[in-house]
Amino acid sequence: MRAGVNCRWMETKKAAGTFFTKQLMHWHSAHNNRSLPWKEEKEPYKIWLSEIILQQTRAAQGLPYYLRFTEAYPTVQHLAAANDEDAFRLWQGLGYYNRCKNMLATARIITGDLNGCFPVTYEGLLALKGIGPYTAAAIASFAYGLPQAVVDGNVYRVLARYFGIDTPFDTTEGKKEFATLAQQLLDVNDSAGYNQAIMDLGATVCTPALPKCSECPLQAQCTAFRQGTVQLLPVRSKKQAVRNRYFHYLLLVDGDAVWIRKRDGKDIWQNLHEPFLIEHDAPMDVKMLAKHNSFGGLGVRKEPVFEGMLKQKLTHQLIETRFFTLPVKLAVNKHLEGGNWVKFSDLKKLAFPKTIVSFLEKKLYF
Ligand code: SF4
């Protein structure tokens, strides 16, 4: 690009940026009536809680969880003192359980090492476990008014469409480009208002499917609207393959006791509970299951009874879960490794993944 042309292009981009921020802030003060309990919140603890709950979660789905958590744990000190099992049970059904684990760890660091106070700088917030650039920017701007722009899925979408950016947002280059642009567009005199405005516009007007361009305050200068590329933006580098997994849960039962273990390791559903699991690379019926190596160690000759199947789609995994019951002798399996015998009446005290809760409820074990 020649120097003169380059200069003119930069000017155009700058003007588009000025229009963007001005229109967005006007829309926010005059037309944005999206109401959520954490809006206008200034307490870092509650902002943090809402942002962690809302990661990978729609606002409507996260709302009851936010209300339950703030009621059970009104301050970071209450959360730090929480019983892990109780907190996981409150989180039950929200998925991505690592968020809950990190939240408890961070609450304890803040209470134990930081006098119960959240750091007051962006960098200090970023240093905490489970707090990434987005959450740190949200707390820094909403609680302290610091000039830090948030960049989340809504922001990628609005900026990609308005400026016609086709750099994939999930690459190092894309992340840098969008973060730099977001920071340039920020209204430094009202960072909280600006951040709220762009996220609300993305959630209510510039939505992923069927955006309401006719109601959009940015339409007059929106590149994607002008060029008819709204549905093509933003661009993701590649689709991650979905992994199919086949879980076979055996409810090992003796009288009123059932064998339950706590999940550990780096896999999904960390810290949640489950019955005896046999995972296989394909679905198994009762006959195949009875011949499986893991089944052999249970000292049972009978075939299990098939109780039902449930599917759950996670971000990159499709879990097909089959449930079976199998009467066993507690005495024979007393020391079955990794778990405990739990009374059916005590199951409700434990946190389980959503699929297992659905099954236990359906079979009236809960
Ligand atoms: S005009 Fe349409 S595509 Fe452009 S920012 Fe507004 S809602 Fe999004």
- What pLDDT shows up at residue 252? 93
183-215: per-residue pLDDT in tens?
999 999 999 999 999 999 999 999 999 999 999
Ligand 1, residue 213: give the atom nearest the CA: 2
Domain annotation covers residue 42: yes
- Tell me the average pLDDT across 343-353: 92
Range of the domain at 72: 3-232
- What pLDDT shows up at residue 299? 77
Q: Are residues 196 and 262 in the same domain?
A: no
d(CA 28, CA 195): 10
- What pLDDT shows up at residue 152? 94
Whose structure tokens read 């959009």?
216
pLDDT of 333 higher than 80:
no
7-11, 110-114, 176-180, 249-253, range with the lowest pLDDT: 7-11
164-181: per-residue pLDDT in tens?
999 999 999 999 999 999
The best mutation among 19, 32, 158 to test binding of ligand 1, ranked by most ligand atoms within 8 Å of the C-beta, falls on: 158
49-63, 157-171, 176-190, range with the lowest pLDDT: 49-63
From the list 286, 278, 279, the residue with the least C-alpha distance to 302 is: 286
Q: Are residues 226 and 254 in the same domain?
A: no
Q: Is the peptide bond before 234 cis (omega within 30 degrees of 0)?
A: yes
CATH label of the domain that carries residue 190: 1.10.340.30
Task: Kindly give the distance from the C-alpha atom of residue 93 to the centroid of ligand 1, in angstroms, as a whole number.
Answer: 33
Average of per-residue pLDDT values in the chain: 92
Query: Which of the listed residues 232, 257, 276 is the one where a domain comes to its end?
Result: 232
Give the pLDDT band of residue 218 (cuts 50, 70, 90).
very high
Would you put residue 190 in left (φ > 0), alpha (ψ -120 to 50) or beta? beta
From the list 315, 334, 323, 329, the residue with the least C-alpha distance to 361 is: 323
Q: How many domains does the chain have?
A: 2
Pair type for strands 243-254 and 276-280: antiparallel
Query: Which of the listed residues 232, 267, 291 is the one where a domain comes to its end?
Result: 232
Catalytic residue among 40, 43, 51, 361: 51
The best mutation among 157, 201, 222 to test binding of ligand 1, ranked by most ligand atoms within 8 Å of the C-beta, falls on: 222
Strand partners, 349: none
2-16, 113-127, 133-147, 339-353, range with the lowest pLDDT: 2-16
